[in-house]
Amino acid sequence: MLVGNDYTSFVQEKKLRKSVNFFRDHCADGNKNLKLADVFDQVSELDGFHVESTDPNQQLNIEFSRALFRLENISPFLEERDDNDDDDLAFNGEEEEKKEDAEEIIDDTDMNNYVKAFDQSLVPASGGLGGKDFCLKSHIMSPFENVLHEGEDIVPFLEETYDVMRAQSLSYVCVPSKLKWSHVQLSTLFQRSIRATLNIVPKGILGYECSPSMIFDHLCFFHALVARMVEEVDPETNDLAPNKKERSSHHTRLALPIDAHKDAILKSVKENRVTIIQGETGSGKSSRVPVMLLEAPPPEPTSNKVKMFICQPRRIAAKSLTERIRMTEPHLKDLIGLRMGHGVREYESKRTQAWFVTTGYLVRYLANNQGAFHDVDYLIIDEVHERSIDSDILCLLAKRLLETHPKIRIVLMSATVAADMYQKYFDVSEPPIFVGVRCFPINEYFVEDIGKHLRLSSKECKALDEIKDKCNKSRCQLAPNSHHILKLHHLAAQIAVEVGKGGTSVLIFVSGMADIVSITEIFEGMVGSIKYNCVPIHSDIPFEDQMEAFDSPKQNEVKIIIATNAAESSITLPDVDNVICFGLCKAITYNKQSHRQMLETTWISKANATQRAGRTGRVREGSVYRLYPRKAFNDYFRKFEEGEILRSPLDSVILNLRTIVADESITEILRGCIEPPDTVNIENSFNSLFNRKFTTAANDNFEITSLGDLVVALGIDLTIGALVGFGARLGSLRETIEVAAILSFPKSPWLLPNALLQEPEVYNGENYFF
Amino acid sequence: MLDMKKVQQVTDEVMRQFVHVHKVNVSVYLDGNKQPRKALTRASRGERRMVEESNLRKFFTKQILPPSFRSRNNRSGKIKIPDPYTFMSEFPLPILLFQQVEHSLYMWAGKFDRGEFEDSEAFFRVTQCESEADQAVAMESALDTSNRTFAIGQDSDYCVFGFKLDNELWVMGDLHVQYLPLDGLTIDEEGIRGYVVTRRHIAEEFHISEDLIVEVRYISSTPD
């Protein structure tokens, strides 16, 4: 009954053996199987029994616990606790086990020394809590910045992971299987840093901001670590980078294809107001061009120093490039800053000369602060092929800037840019500068070539002919019917079997989940010495399941990666030798009659087809099997994907443009875009905005109502914004905000059961917890 | 690997059940930074932590689970999932666990301070102690002579706490800590159920005086 004693322990019993022996000697006639009740019997008969010790420490403990248990004053016994006293967790690694761990994320020969240094840095990092300037993130990160060596890439990784965790945008149901001991160690350090910060925050001051559940999501953290580990796979050997030295080489200055074109680029930007740079992924456009321009003298002799904005379509790209250049170019570290929406400003100072920004931020900044660009030398628009509405509006504003600001120069960069279109739009006479060339060839086979190249049955050859005829007959104007799609599934499976060798992967590009399920079922029915392992890549599939695509297949295994256009760009699958392309995708289209967007199966563009083929031939020669005829590709496929502005209702665009430019005709502004939207679409949007009470008139002479002002300020879908506005008016703001938050979530809040993804017992509803 | 959101949800739900559903006044006492001056006192905790850490490292480096996960029939190769308490005791507790619970509790206290629950029939408060909170908890329970204040915890020390029998406070009446062990506690919409242990029960069971319980504790304790 009397167990759990903090003040007399097993260790003490050993050290004070005489005290224990006292009872063995005196109470039970030497009976070693002494019972507790016997002890109590004996003690109760002793008058004034009390325990004492000859050991001063032990005696002090006895006196303390006596005062404690008798509810007397214990203050004289107390002293301040050393917080680090119980923090040895996860770092008392034995040397032998450390050696086995070949992929330490924090690579230090003596982890304990590292932890001591970390602990010492926790104290100053946690101090200095001061009012409004307190930043939870910087306090949590500062021990890492203080302790880790310069050039270590873990700090930006942790910062990015922290941002993701704070955004709470990811949700996983299980711990990734590749989790390593070193991950646990890093997680421990990170949590200790969070704890040290939380311990100095006055309780209740920062409210929910400081809830550990809002700061640290261990599943999200571990998934980010595993994803990071996958990124570091060496494409040549498929091995993980074995130590920090090799990994950190990612952030040292390597020779890149674009370096050979430095002079041409500098000459072009000096002589031309607009320069277009086209180069394949990895050629170094994004990271080198800003540095080249920053290091070169200003293009105008009147400028003292170069000033520029570099625009990226995504926040993660802007952030990671800022960090990367700050690390690879330490002499330019203080000249690089970051600005994004929601007031994000990082590394900004009076010395800053180059700002990485997001497209959305720059559109709003440029529209409202044209005067601020009077001393800007360069505006670099990266990934210009990503034709979002913001991107097209930015090009429009940049074109206007060329007229009003005689000094500024525009640099457009992309891997698959529609150069002609941009040349015409910006009135550029110089041809694009091409940087970087493909190292390995890709063999292309269209539907009419496949039968000659592969040994297929007569039935399959007949199916190939039918597909060719149908595509040519329909001129790829309509999406294929279900009969056509079914044939594609079987052909893709047969081609994969024919070309797939043990230890390699075949990537099949399909349009949607139904295709993924159907093709997987075909492979599941196959029996033989080679095992076909189907891995889906689809936006509805949890991130960790998609990560399987990066695992190397075994020698007797062919990995069949079945992907939608989610795998078209931004990922590298090193062991893919063969790509099979259906030529189809799901795309958003605009219906003029209903003034609504629809998700439909449609034919891809040539640019998409090129991107898909580019998933192979990256580390060795590859082949692409296109399940559509050459004529369709040459004559019927669009050259590039249509801009989002042509495929979307323009309600939100019009409302935002009005807040930016109050005096001009919105119709005229939109007509100045690189691909102007249809007038009917613009008029439909005027009507829609007026009908929904966001504007005062159903034409170009409108003003924004108070409800319109609110939804613009909220920056969410207009209908959902209106819900919040009406909720506020009707006194149910809290409830409508909750509903709006749920509706704003881009994916279903439910995890769809799918036999492809879950084990049978989970799929059938048992043990659906980790 | 414990999800902090789950910890927050459970803490909130337990507090909601106590305060709003069953109208029970809740006083939470949090450990302070001071500890008894000592040389050896926390040795057993340190040893325990080392075992927990070793279990975790073995699992991640060699995929070896602690003995409590082994099935009786080893040949079957099946893993036995131990009860939650054993499971938790095999591995280190999450580092942010205490901070999470503490934060949730302060959020509750803040709501009461700001009058958000002014219609509530029960109160909720958090007290930061100078040292370990056990004594403050025991004191609050002991001083309620109606015996309707319970010390909820998972520590048999509550069976030892008590005023010395010749203490002048004894004139107030029955001053016993009403210890309500957490592992026997059930809280749901229907009610709160558990068993109560007092120092008097222990003394009567072993036929010794209550004062002697403190003394015999030193000599009868076993390593936990």
Q: Look-up: residue for tokens 């967007």?
A: A597
Q: Report if residue A551 sits inside a domain.
A: yes
Distance CA B176, CA A100 (A): 56
Mean pLDDT of B71-82: 61
Residues A618 and A556 in one domain: yes
- The answer as to whether A755 is a domain residue is no
Which band of pLDDT confidence, cut at 50, 70 and 90, is reported for residue A318? Answer: confident
Nearest CA distance, B122 vs chain A (angstrom) = 21
Asked whether residue A3 is domain-assigned, the answer is no
For residues A725-750, one letter each, b for 16 or more C-beta atoms within 10 angstroms of the residue's C-beta and e for the rest, the string is: bebeeeeeeeebeeebeeeeeeeeee
A540 and A664 fall within a common domain: no
CA separation for the pair A1, B197 (Å, rounded): 11
Place B177 in a pLDDT band, splitting at 50, 70 and 90: very high
User: Using one digit for the tens of pLDDT, what is the confidence trace for A604-628?
Assistant: 888 888 878 877 765 567 889 999 9
Closest by Cα among A231, A91, A209 to A157: A231
Which amino acid type is present at position B211? D
Res. A756 pLDDT band, cuts 50 70 90:
low
Q: Which two tokens stand for residue A212?
A: 């550990």
* C-alpha closest to that of B19 among B139, B119, B142: B119
Nearest by CB to A92, from B53, B138, B202: name it.
B53
Q: Kindly state whether residue A291 falls inside one of the protein's structural domains.
A: yes
So what's the pLDDT on residue A110?
56
Distance from the B18 Cα atom to the nearest Cα atom in chain A, whole angstroms = 21
For chain A positions 84-103, those within 8 Å of chain B (CB to CB) are 85-86, 88-90, 92-93, 97, 100-101
Same structural domain, A717 and A686: yes
A:4-43 residues touching chain B, CB 8 A cutoff: 4-13, 15, 19-20, 22-23, 36-37, 39-41, 43
| The predicted structure's pLDDT at residue B22 | 93
Domain boundary among the residues A251, A283, A311 is at A251
- Name every residue whose Cβ is closer than 8 Å to that of residue A69 and which is 6 or more positions away in sequence: B157, B160, B161, B162, B214, B217
Give pLDDT, residue B76.
Answer: 52
Same domain, A215 and A283: no
| Residues of the domain holding A585 | 442-641
**Is A383 in a helix, a strand, or coil?**
coil
Using 50, 70 and 90 to split pLDDT, how confident is the model at A171? very low
The C-alpha of A766 sits at a distance from chain B's nearest C-alpha, in angstroms, of 16
Query: Which helix H or strand E contains B54, and what residues bound it?
Result: helix B43-62
Determine phi and psi for A420, rounding to 5 degrees: -55, -45
Q: A641 or A4: whose pLDDT is higher?
A: A641
pLDDT digits 0-9 by tens, A471-503: 888 888 888 888 889 999 999 998 998 888 888
Q: Look up residue B150 and give its two tokens.
A: 């319970």
A-B C-beta contacts closer than 8 Å = 232
Say if CB B200 and CB B176 are below 8 A apart: yes
3-state secondary structure A8-49: CCHHHHHHCHHHHHHHHHHCCCCCCCCCHHHHHHHHHHCCCC
- The CA distance from A662 to A390, in Å, is 18
A383 Cβ neighbours under 8 A, 6+ residues apart: A312, A313, A317, A413, A414
What residues of A are in contact with residue B108 (Cβ under 8 Å)? Answer: none
Predicted local confidence at residue A619, as pLDDT:
59
Residues 6 or more apart from A565 whose CB is under 8 A from it?
A509, A585, A586, A604, A608, A612
Nearest to A51 among B35, B45, B218 (CB): B218
Q: Average pLDDT in the B119-123 region? A: 88
Average pLDDT over residues B185-201: 90
- Whether residues A4 and B45 touch (CB distance < 8 A) is answered with no
More confident residue, B196 or A123: B196
Q: What are phi and psi of B152, to 5 degrees?
A: -95, 130
| Residues in Cβ contact with B70 at an 8 Å cutoff, skipping those fewer than 6 apart | B79, B80
Residue A713 neighbours by CB under 8 Å, 6+ apart: none
Place of tokens 């059940």: B17
pLDDT in tens, A63-91: 888 888 988 888 888 877 655 544 444 45
Nearest CA in chain B to A197: B99
Q: Which of A68, A99, A166, A222 to mutate to test the interface with B (most CBs of B within 10 A)?
A: A68
Instruction: Check CB contact under 8 Å for B162 and A198.
Output: no
| pLDDT confidence bin for A333, thresholds 50/70/90 | confident
Question: What span, in angstroms and rounded, lies between the C-alpha atoms of B126 and B118?
Answer: 17
Report the residue count for chain A.
Answer: 770
Residue of chain B with shortest Cα separation from A21: B219
Given a contact cutoff of 8 angstroms between Cβ atoms, the answer to whether A334 and A293 are in contact is no
Cβ separation of B96 and A194 shorter than 8 Å?
yes
Find chain B residues with C-beta within 8 A of A175's C-beta. 1
Instruction: Select the residue of A57, A75, A212 nearest B99 (Cβ to Cβ).
Output: A212
Reported as a single tens digit per residue, the pLDDT across A539-562 is 677 655 666 776 778 777 888 999
- Asked if pLDDT for residue A269 goes beyond 80, the answer is yes
Cβ partners under 8 Å of residue A623, min gap 6: A442, A443, A444, A445, A499, A577, A578, A579, A616
Reported as a single tens digit per residue, the pLDDT across A650-697 is 888 898 888 877 778 899 889 889 889 988 889 999 999 999 999 999
At A243 the pLDDT is: 38
| C-beta neighbour count of A291 within 10 angstroms | 19
Q: Does residue A507 contact residue A567 with C-beta atoms inside 8 Å? A: yes
SS3 B136: helix
- Selected for mutation to probe chain A from B60, B64, B113 (highest A CB count within 10 Å) is B60
**In contact, A19 and B219? CB cutoff 8 Å:** yes
**Inter-residue contact B99 to B7 (CB < 8 Å):** no
Same domain, A544 and A407: no
- Give yes or no for residue A10 having a pLDDT over 50: no
Can you tell me the distance from the alpha carbon of A700 to that of A681, in angstroms, rounded to the nearest whole number?
13
A598 and A547 together in one domain? yes
Q: Is the dihedral of CA A318, A320, A326, A329 positive or negative?
A: negative
User: CA A385 to CA A362: how far, in whole Å?
Assistant: 17
CB contact under 8 A, B60 and A184: yes
Co-location of A119 and A152 in the same domain: yes
- Mean of pLDDT values over A449-476: 87
Q: How far is CA B115 from CA A206, B24, B112, B119, B145, in A?
A: 18, 17, 5, 9, 30
CATH code at position A386: 3.40.50.300
Structural domain count, chain A: 4
CB contact under 8 A, A8 and B218: yes
User: What pTM does this model have?
Assistant: 0.46
- Judge: A2–B50 Cβ closer than 8 Å, yes or no: no
More confident site: A581 or A197: A581
Query: Is there a contact between B139 and A194 if contact means CB atoms under 8 Å apart?
Result: no
Residues A237 and A276 in one domain: no
Confidence category of residue A103, pLDDT binned at 50, 70, 90: very low
Tokens of A340: 């994004």
Determine the Cα–Cα distance for residues A618 and A573; give it in Å rounded to an integer: 9
Find, in chain A, the residue whose alpha carbon is nearest to that of B201: A1
- Cβ–Cβ of B156/A68 closer than 8 Å? no
Does residue A261 sit within a domain?
A: yes
A156 in a structural domain:
yes
CA distance A665 to A470: 46
Q: Which two tokens stand for residue A377?
A: 């030398």
Longest dimension (CA), chain B: 65
Residue A40: per-residue pLDDT: 72
For residue B100, which residues of chain A lie inside 8 Å, CB to CB?
211-213
Rounded mean pLDDT of chain A? 76
Q: What DSSP line would sit under A625-672, residue for residue?
A: EESS-HHIIIIIS-SSPPPHHHHS--HHHHHHHHHH-SSS-HHHHHHT
- Which chain A positions have a beta carbon within 8 Å of B138's beta carbon? 71
pLDDT, residue A254, reads 53
Alpha carbons A711 and A425: distance in angstroms, whole number: 32
Please list every residue in chain B whose beta carbon sits closer than 8 Å to the beta carbon of residue A64. 36-38
CA distance B186 to A240: 50
Q: Would the CB atoms of A44 and B208 count as touching at under 8 Å?
A: yes
Please tell me whether residues A456 and A418 are part of one structural domain. Answer: no
User: Is A146 part of any domain?
Assistant: yes
Banded model confidence at residue A140, pLDDT cuts 50, 70, 90: confident
- Contact yes or no for A208 and B107 at CB 8 A: yes
Residues A383, A446 within the same domain: no
Q: How far apart are CA A51 and CA A136, in angstroms?
A: 50
Residue A77 lies in a domain: no
Confidence of residue A567 (pLDDT cuts 50, 70, 90): low
Q: What percent of chain A has pLDDT over 70?
A: 71
Q: Do A78 and B8 touch (CB under 8 A)?
A: no
Q: Strands A274-279, A409-414: parallel, antiparallel or unpaired by DSSP?
A: parallel
Mark residue A636 as left, alpha or beta (left: phi above 0; alpha: psi -120 to 50; beta: remaining): alpha
Sequential DSSP letters for A253-296 = ----GGGGGHHHHHHHHHH-SEEEEEE-TTSSHHHHHHHHHHHS
Identify the pLDDT of residue B199.
Answer: 92
Are A489 and A633 contained in the same domain? yes
Is residue A736 over pLDDT 90? Answer: yes
Q: Does B40 sit within 8 Å of A207, measured CB to CB?
A: no
Between B118 and A721, the more confident residue is A721
pLDDT digits (tens, 9 = 90+) for A690-701: 999 999 999 888
Q: Is A65 helix (H, G, I), strand (E, B) or coil?
A: helix
Which residues between 316 and 345 in chain A have a beta carbon less than 8 angstroms from any beta carbon of chain B?
Answer: none
- Which domain-ending residue is among A208, A236, A251? A251
Helices and strands: H and E segment counts in chain A: 33, 17
Q: Are residues A629 and A696 in the same domain?
A: no
Map residue A239 onto helix, strand or coil.
coil
Sort out which chain B residues have CB atoms less than 8 A from A8's CB and list them: 217-218, 221
Neighbour-count burial of A323, counting CB atoms closer than 10 A to its CB (0-12 exposed, 13-18 middle, 19+ buried): buried
- Whether residue A5 and residue B217 make contact (CB cut-off 8 A), yes or no, is yes
Judged by DSSP in three states, A599 sits in strand
Rounded Cα distance, A754 and A489, in Å: 19
The pLDDT of residue A11 is 43
> Which A residues 48-87 touch B at CB under 8 Å?
49-51, 57-58, 60-62, 64-66, 68-71, 74-75, 77-81, 83, 85-86
Radius of gyration, alpha carbons of chain B: 21
Q: Does A744 touch chain B (CB under 8 A)?
A: no
